[in-house]
Amino acid sequence: MLTAAVTLDPAFRIAPVNRRTFGSFVEHLGRAVYTGIYEPDHPSADKDGFRTDVLDLTREMGVTMVRYPGGNFVSGYRWEDGVGPCENRPVRRDLAWHSTETNEVGLDEFMRWARKAEVEPMMAVNLGTRGVAEALDVLEYANHPGGTRLSDMRAANGSVEPHDIKLWCLGNEMDGPWQLGHMSAREYGRLAVQTARAMRMTEPGLELVACGSSGSQMPTFGEWEATVLEEAYDEVDFISLHAYYEEYDGDLRSFLASAVDMDHFIDSVVATADYVRAKRGATKRIMLSFDEWNVWYLSRFQAAGPPTDWPVAPRLLEDHYHLADAVVVGNMLISLLRHSDRVTAACQAQLVNVIAPIMAEPGGPAWRQTTFHPFAETARTAKGEVLRVEAQSPTYETGRHGEVPVVDAVATYDAPAGQAAVFVVNRSTEETVQFDVDTRALGAQRVTACRTLSDPDPYVRNTAAEPDRVAPRSRDDAELADGRLRLSLPPVSWTVIELATTASS
């Protein structure tokens, strides 16, 4: 049996747990909106047409923030198409996903849904086919109290109170040749700073996200971030990161180590942002918005290609996740928590049906995919401060990431409440790990809960017929004695351990 160990010490704090870490994403893509969050004819639909079963799961999952309306969709979107009486809204082609957009759901509907879901909105503006003027228009419509044409239009459309959206994305993936309005870093940086300055003239307190690279594999990665921030550093608060992972060619060992790449990606963007800070002699630090991350079997979508006609709400990107996918998602959440000093916003893409932790059948049930569970458990349990944890772990060799630790872990500590939590993955495909946690510095008194997500078959899935086939299982074999916690970690597993500690005054 392999062995691994960590030490928890409240002196080694990274940053407070940021609730925006637990964001999600609803894009007008596939069935994310229509038959996802919105289905007026569904048995569970409320008076506004929203599926209450999906709303219940969203709240259970602990989602705190949702990015909207895209994604690639936003670069061809006309926000004004989605407001006003539905019968007057134009039907448009969505070039990003080769679909037909009915515009039955728009800004006001999304904000009604967000309030029901108890989430903060993260709004994206179209800097692909539009620009500064349209960004100012949607900002006025959304946030101005009243007395202007667009704010009065919002009130006439049923939203008398302003939506008060504070967090805005300045476009989406503008480095990507697939993006409508794709441009160079210099061109985008100038457009972003112009848009940011104009938006801040109306609301100085907005929080603005500049587009970073669409992924660390992009040929302009690093140079893109540096150039954009050289233009826009003073006017933006965040630079974005996007990353998706999948298992290639049956290489499960590499796939389970995906968070190693995520760590490297974050560290590289931090280094680039701080290089620009040093070069400019700036005092503020740019934070990171990891506003697209997940497991996504993109190669399958690329092989199949987009629809050949223009369907409404087609079944696109509906990955059905297995146990190993959930372990990787849990590990990526460990990475995000570990970088809480700089990653202060994050969105798992996406929420429902489209590469999502929640699946919903038209007219039928909604259920939790395997990836739902590590997100929900982490969002519920991670509180207080993130502790710096260095795992003493054996390593194994991977084809994509080289030599990596078998065990990865992070911890959180809520001193006033007398609570701590440890989140840990065993990446080994075959071997159990005996895990030892030194909790003496925390004054740990007892294990209050321990749950593990595992199965002998790493490819087992949840389905509508068997929605709870894979779920965290409570354990009573975690032993705490003389300040040391010991338990075994099964192969391909994610575990959370909750501890009661000596509360501080």
- Which residues lie across from 294 on neighbouring strands? 244
100 pLDDT more than 80: yes
**pLDDT tens digits along 219-253:** 999 999 999 999 999 999 999 999 999 999 999 99
**pLDDT tens digits along 247-275:** 999 999 999 999 999 999 999 999 999 99
Confidence at residue 467, expressed as pLDDT on a 0 to 100 scale: 97
Contact of 460 with 389, CB cutoff 8 Å = no
Mean pLDDT for 145-154 is 98
Q: Which is the catalytic residue, given 101, 109, 134, 173?
A: 173
Contact of 485 with 439, CB cutoff 8 Å = yes
Contact of 88 with 113, CB cutoff 8 Å = no
Q: Which is the catalytic residue, given 292, 377, 385, 498?
A: 292
Confidence at residue 356, expressed as pLDDT on a 0 to 100 scale: 98
The question of whether 27 is a catalytic residue gets the answer no
**pLDDT tens digits along 40-57:** 999 999 999 999 999 999
List the structure tokens of 187. 């061109």
Q: Tell me, what DSSP letter sits at residue 415?
A: T
Mean pLDDT for 108-127 is 98
For CATH 2.60.40.1180, the residue range(s) in the chain are: 2-10+386-500
Closest C-alpha to 354, from 400, 321, 332: 321
Neighbour order of strands in the sheet with 473-474: 13-16, 385-387, 407-414, 419-426, 493-500, 446-453, 473-474
Give CA–CA dist 42/34, Å, rounded: 11
Contact of 367 with 485, CB cutoff 8 Å = no
For CATH 3.20.20.80, the residue range(s) in the chain are: 18-79+91-129+158-184+207-381
User: Helix or strand or coil: residue 255?
Assistant: helix
Q: Tell me, what DSSP letter sits at residue 304?
A: H
Neighbour order of strands in the sheet with 433-438: 2-7, 433-438, 484-489, 479-481
User: Helix or strand or coil: residue 407?
Assistant: strand
Note the maximum CA span of the chain. 70
Confidence at residue 504, expressed as pLDDT on a 0 to 100 scale: 62
Phi, psi for residue 404 in degrees, rounded to 5: -130, 155
Give CA–CA dist 53/421, Å, rounded: 29
The question of whether 60 is a catalytic residue gets the answer no
Contact of 330 with 280, CB cutoff 8 Å = no
**pLDDT tens digits along 150-184:** 999 999 999 999 999 999 999 999 999 999 999 99
CATH superfamily of 2-10+386-500: Golgi alpha-mannosidase II (2.60.40.1180)
Contacts of 365 (CB under 8 A, 6+ apart): 53, 464, 467
Could you give the percent of the chain with pLDDT greater than 90? 98
List the structure tokens of 29. 């893509």
List the structure tokens of 57. 């799961």
Mean pLDDT for 62-89 is 98
The band of 134, judged by pLDDT with boundaries at 50, 70 and 90, is very high
505 pLDDT more than 60: no
CATH superfamily of 18-79+91-129+158-184+207-381: Glycosidases (3.20.20.80)
Could you give the percent of the chain with pLDDT greater than 70? 100
